[in-house]
Structure 1
């Protein structure tokens, strides 16, 4: 199960976004985590209709090739 702060280790990770054309792809570096929200669940709770697990994170970031 996740605990608050489990996603802090993602700071510094590189995320590549590919557009339909390779020349338009970009790599971003995750800087500081701004918010974190998640919901864990068990199979039994999911089967009872309580919803699926999820994680939503918001990071500030910068373009690897244009760090301004």
Structure 2
């Protein structure tokens, strides 16, 4: 993994957060929230959490000089 890959991961994470924001505005902005909306929200949050943890691991590995391919 190189710096470009880390930048792309960070952009993906930022875009996922934007998607979460848009989902929340669209689906949770009223009192008409159903179980499907809640389950979708939980899935989005879980996915972003995994993306963030993976990105953090990759950044730490890169800074320590132990990233893939080194």
Which TM class, normalised by the smaller chain length?
Answer: under 0.3
Specify which structure has the higher proportion of helix. Answer: 2
Specify which structure has the higher proportion of strand. Answer: 1
Which structure ranks higher in relative contact order (CA pairs < 8 Å, sequence separation ≥ 6)? 2
| Superposition TM-score, scaled by structure 1 size | 0.27
